[in-house]
Amino acid sequence: MTDRLSNTDLRRLFLERHELGVSPSGPLTRDGLDALIERLGFVQVDTISALEQAHHHILFTRANGYRKPMLKHLLEKRRSLFEHWTHDASIIPTRFYPYWKRRFRRAAARITDNRHWAERFNGRQDEVLGEMRRRVAENGPVSSRDVTADDIEERSAWWGWTPSKTALEYLWHTGEFAVTGRRGFAKIYDLAHRVIPAEHHEPEPDHTTTVDWMCRQAIARLGVAAPREIAAFFNAVSLAEAEAWCAAAPPQTLRRIEIEHADGSLREVWARPDVLDLARTAPEPPARVRFLSPFDPMIRERERTLRLFGFDYRFEAFVPAAKRVWGYYVLPMLERDRLIGRIELKAHRDQNGLEIRGFWLEPGVRPAKARLARVEAEIERWRVFTGLESVRWSVGTGQ
């Protein structure tokens, strides 16, 4: 008979795996931040700063002792983290770098066959790539602003990139260059071997080793998953590769288990062999309320969020205003092991104030005084983190 995880146990396990099972209070060191990101696997990077940029938001949600200079130090001084792609632009532990080499090779093949990239080179791909390699090798790190300062190159229709900007991105995507730092949010590029420590830059794991590593790391962080979720975790193996890996994995690596969804339906999935022990020891998440980034790994898979938590979340920043159901940058609210509602916050940095533009509790969730006090406490934590002076509600708590 297949063992089963109740929905309550499943939610607590999932939160524990995503570093949301314990209170985020307390101090955080650089070593602690390194360890946190490694346990998560990666942190997505995004430029939208309606409240705070995604990478800072994700980390502060899990560790209120987090401060932005800590991440910059790990990326640019310690070099224990690097920037590249998972399902999107991400910050990744540098010790994972060897397993990204297959992605680099695949990116080179994909870009070569992509007409949009060819258009951005304006027919000068070999020439521009050669010039960019020479310039960086001889003169050191550059940003796209450095190489097109006078805007003398013709910009393509796609994203408005110049050939030089396209070359920098090509060489980064394919692993010849790495991001050595940022100026504002603009990437600064250098030769990869001058950014990535040799012990991580030199190894060349083969195809089988890379697929095995990717799948093992994914199931370790998810706890339970279907092959599609394993493949999607780093977005670095195909569904067919994940399915084959699951089918061939020995019992000491994977086992089958039945999980209960929020609607009571059951589903059989793959799991870590120690999943029952993990679920049994997963802590009851704290009562305090946390506002999750739209890019938080816990809610990244929207259909999975609906299955596990009964919470139907859609990010509407790119939806025309007239068609939005909730708002531009609406955040799910987590309380214990439930997603209890949504809130929209806007940081008005020019006015030094934080505005609450929308607040909605899920059906059946009461606006009890204690709950609203926890919401207010989380708003205050965000006011402090963003360095703003005031809070203004433009809606009522009964919206």
Let me know if residue 100 belongs to a domain.
no
Q: Is 339 exposed, middle or buried (0-12, 13-18, 19+ CB in 10 A)?
A: buried
In a domain, 239, yes or no: no
Question: Is 10 part of any domain?
Answer: no
CATH number for the domain including 161?
A: 1.10.10.10
d(CA 203, CA 298): 31
Which H, E and C letters describe 256-267, residue by residue? EEEEECCCCCEE
Percentage of the chain exceeding pLDDT 70: 95
Average pLDDT over residues 85-91: 97
Residue 271 to residue 222: CA distance in whole angstroms:
8
Instruction: Read off the pTM.
Output: 0.95
On whether residue 217 sits in a domain, the answer given is: no
Q: Count of domains in the chain?
A: 2
Q: Is the pLDDT of residue 302 over 60?
A: yes
The CATH number of residue 366's host domain is 3.40.630
Last residue of a domain, which of 179, 196, 213?
Answer: 196
Q: What are phi and psi for residue 289, nearest 5 degrees?
A: -90, 140
Q: Which residue has the tokens 């509602």?
A: 341
Q: What is the pLDDT of residue 365?
A: 98
Tokens matching residue 93: 């532990």
Radius of gyration of the chain (CA): 22
Q: What is the pLDDT of residue 150?
A: 42
pLDDT at 188: 97
pLDDT value for 155: 52
How far apart CA 351 and CA 234 sit, in angstroms, is 39
Place 117 in a pLDDT band, splitting at 50, 70 and 90: confident
Average pLDDT over residues 275-300: 97
Handedness of CA 197, 199, 201, 207 (dihedral sign): negative
Q: Which of 181, 196, 211 is the last residue of a domain?
A: 196
- Residue 158: its pLDDT value, please? 46
Report the pLDDT averaged over residues 40-65: 97
Spatial separation of the C-alpha atoms in residues 128 and 307, rounded to whole Å: 48
Residue 151 banded pLDDT, cuts 50, 70, 90: very low
**Mean pLDDT score across all residues of the chain:** 94
How is residue 395 written in tokens? 């809606």
DSSP letters spanning 190-217 = EEHHHHS-HHHHS----HHHHHHHHHHH
**Whole-number pLDDT of residue 396:** 65
* Domain end marker among 171, 196, 221: 196
Residue 80 has pLDDT above 50, yes or no: yes
- Residue 299 in domain: yes
Q: Which amino acid is at 42?
A: F
**Is residue 325, in this structure, part of any structural domain at all?**
yes
Range of the structural domain that residue 364 is part of: 289-393
In a domain, 121, yes or no: yes
Which tokens in the block code for residue 390?
Answer: 């005031």
Question: Which pLDDT belongs to residue 114?
Answer: 86
Rounded mean pLDDT of 289-307?
A: 98
Determine the average pLDDT of the residues in 197-215: 98
Task: Look at the block and give the residue holding tokens 């987090």.
Answer: 66
Residue 156 has pLDDT above 70, yes or no: no
Closest CA to 86 of 233, 218, 229, 214: 233
pLDDT bucket at 19, cuts 50 / 70 / 90: very high
